[in-house]
């Protein structure tokens, strides 16, 4: 399967001086540069609605793939999520992907921790059934009977969705072994958010493959990697541009204070410090106590920051390990940002070399 390189976007409506939704401009820019896909953040308190962004992007672009990066299993019923992404699939002529996780900033700003793994796995099962056009039994505790209707169904089904082909792929963003295993049982793809170190990525793959074997599921599952990456001839400048992304991704490896996956003693110390110091009010902003916890050595290992040849070498190792899609965060897409040229350099000098 050809390797794909995606970028990330976020919709911010009502920006002064602009009449075009920012997510639309990001999709147009990403397609123009040559990215294969763009994944929109779903965090209602921090950005505009991801499905609005996807719908507008579908109308403004013709070839780039469009996904959520990521939605969650708490803020929308699985039927609502299935209906929304299937609508994008129709409007984009089959370019939609559903990236989903247990929830992070979207839930934190509602005073909630991520969904439990059991609740998340149940949600995935229901979601896949809705997307396939199958019947989904009403959950225990349904109070529909209180309406005393003359008749009603005992299950739920999105009647129009079965005719949409291809079915929208479900891609689970996962870090810990229990979520990776749940994804292996129910998803169409797994996006590993464990950093750029080959040992950690292959560990996640092994967990997924083992879970599929134990569940009696034949065949492998494709893997994506979320990576903090910036191309620049000066590695220190590259890390400056990508500031805020390393701690944002790394905290999932120590979400509850316990480090998951292989890590050296120094890496464990940094991950634990990120956990202790993470300020959700500074989420993804490249500032705050969590970013101060990231050492240069940790950032160089967990992310990819440096020259085109260095980025090619690091990504080549991950491709050889079995990753065929990368969702990259670090380089800005805003043409008004002086660092936006790093996105073009990545496509021209890194992605092109890896696709030849």
- Residue 60, in any domain of the structure: yes
Report how far apart the first and last C-alpha atoms of the chain are (Å, whole number). Answer: 13
Confidence bin at 292 (pLDDT 50/70/90): confident
DSSP character at residue 132: T
What pLDDT is stored for residue 19 in this prediction? 43
Does 281 have pLDDT greater than 90? no
| Rounded-to-integer distance, Cα 342 and Cα 331, Å | 6
Domain that holds residue 116: 4-137+159-232+306-355
**Number of domains, the chain:** 1
- Name 317's Cβ contacts closer than 8 Å, sequence gap at least 6: 198
- Who has greater pLDDT, 288 or 95? 95
- The pLDDT value recorded for residue 270 is 96
pLDDT in tens, 76-98: 999 999 999 999 999 999 999 99
Summarize pLDDT for 162-206 with one digit per residue, the tens.
Answer: 889 999 999 999 999 999 999 999 999 999 999 999 999 999 999
Q: Does residue 24 form part of some domain?
A: yes
Backbone angles phi, psi at 188, to 5 degrees: -95, -15
Cα-based distances in Å from 96 to 81, 165, 168, 208: 13, 11, 6, 24
Residue 96 Rama label (left phi>0; alpha psi -120 to 50; beta)? beta
Residue 356: pLDDT band by 50, 70, 90 thresholds?
Answer: confident
Q: Which residue has the higher pLDDT, 153 or 126?
A: 126
Q: Considering the domain boundaries, does residue 284 fall inside one?
A: no
CB atoms within 10 A of CB 151: 4
CA–CA dist 247, 168 (Å, integer): 31
The arithmetic mean of pLDDT across residues 270-281, rounded, is 91
**Contact (CB, 8 A) for 293 and 272:** no
Q: What does R_g of the chain's alpha carbons equal in angstroms?
A: 20
Average pLDDT of span 28-38: 96
Flag whether pLDDT at 114 surpasses 80. yes
Q: Is residue 119 in some structural domain? A: yes
Is 54 a member of any domain? yes
Helices vs strands, H then E, count in the chain? 15, 12
Residue 310 has, within 13 A of its CA and on its CB side, a CA count of: 16
Above 90 in pLDDT, residue 309?
Answer: yes
Mean pLDDT of 140-161: 91
| Mean pLDDT across 333-347 | 88
Helix 177-186 to helix 117-131 angle, to the nearest 10 degrees?
20
Q: Which of 98, 19, 100, 33 is nearest to 61 (CA)?
A: 33
18 has a pLDDT exceeding 50: no
pLDDT at residue 112 greater than cutoff 90: yes
**What would the mean pLDDT of 228-241 be, rounded to a whole number?**
95
In a domain? residue 266: no
The pLDDT > 90 percentage for the chain reads: 81
pLDDT surpasses 50 at 311:
yes
**Residue 94 forms part of a structural domain:** yes
238 within domain boundaries: no
CATH number at residue 62: 3.20.20.30
Secondary structure of residue 304 in the 3-state scheme: strand
Half-sphere exposure (Cβ direction) of 86: Cα atoms closer than 13 Å: 22
- pLDDT value of position 294: 92
User: CA 146 to CA 144: how far, in whole Å?
Assistant: 5
Would you call 205 helix, strand, or coil by DSSP?
Answer: helix
Query: Residues 291-295: what's their mean pLDDT?
Result: 89
Is residue 101 over pLDDT 90?
yes
Instruction: Say what the alpha-carbon torsion angle 52, 106, 201, 31 is, to the nearest 10 degrees.
Output: 20
């Amino acid at each position: 399967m050809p390797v794909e390189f995606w970028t990330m976007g976020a919709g911010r409506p009502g920006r002064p001086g602009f009449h075009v939704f920012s997510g639309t401009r990001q999709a147009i820019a990403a397609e123009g540069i040559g990215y294969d896909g763009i994944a929109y953040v779903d965090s209602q308190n921090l950005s505009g609605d991801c499905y609005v962004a996807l719908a507008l992007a579908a109308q403004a672009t013709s070839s780039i793939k469009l996904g959520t990066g990521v939605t969650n299993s708490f803020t929308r019923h699985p039927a609502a999520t299935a209906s929304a992404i299937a609508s994008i699939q129709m409007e984009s002529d089959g370019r939609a992907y559903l990236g989903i996780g247990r929830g992070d900033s979207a839930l934190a700003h509602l005073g909630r921790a991520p969904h439990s793994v059991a609740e998340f796995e149940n949600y995935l099962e229901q979601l896949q059934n809705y997307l396939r056009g199958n019947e989904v039994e009403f959950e225990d505790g349904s109070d529909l009977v209180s309406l005393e209707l003359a008749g009603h169904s005992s299950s739920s089904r999105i009647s129009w969705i079965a005719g949409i082909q291809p079915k929208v792929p479900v891609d689970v963003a996962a870090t810990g072994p229990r979520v990776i295993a749940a994804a292996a049982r129910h998803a169409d793809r797994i996006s590993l958010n464990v950093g750029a170190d080959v040992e950690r990525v292959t560990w996640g793959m092994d967990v997924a493959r083992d879970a599929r074997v134990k569940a009696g599921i034949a065949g492998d599952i494709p893997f994506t990697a979320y990576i903090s990456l910036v191309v620049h001839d000066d590695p220190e400048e590259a890390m400056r541009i990508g500031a805020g992304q390393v701690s944002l991704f790394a905290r999932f490896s120590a979400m509850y204070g316990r480090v998951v996956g292989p890590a050296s003693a120094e890496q464990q110390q940094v991950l634990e410090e990120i956990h202790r110091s993470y300020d959700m009010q500074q989420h993804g902003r490249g500032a705050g106590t969590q970013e101060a916890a990231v050492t240069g050595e940790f950032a160089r290992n967990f992310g990819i920051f440096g020259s085109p040849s260095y980025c090619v070498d690091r990504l080549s190792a991950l491709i050889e390990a079995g990753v065929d899609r990368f969702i990259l965060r670090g380089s800005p897409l805003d043409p008004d940002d002086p660092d936006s040229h790093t996105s073009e350099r990545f496509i021209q000098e890194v992605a092109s070399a890896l696709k030849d």
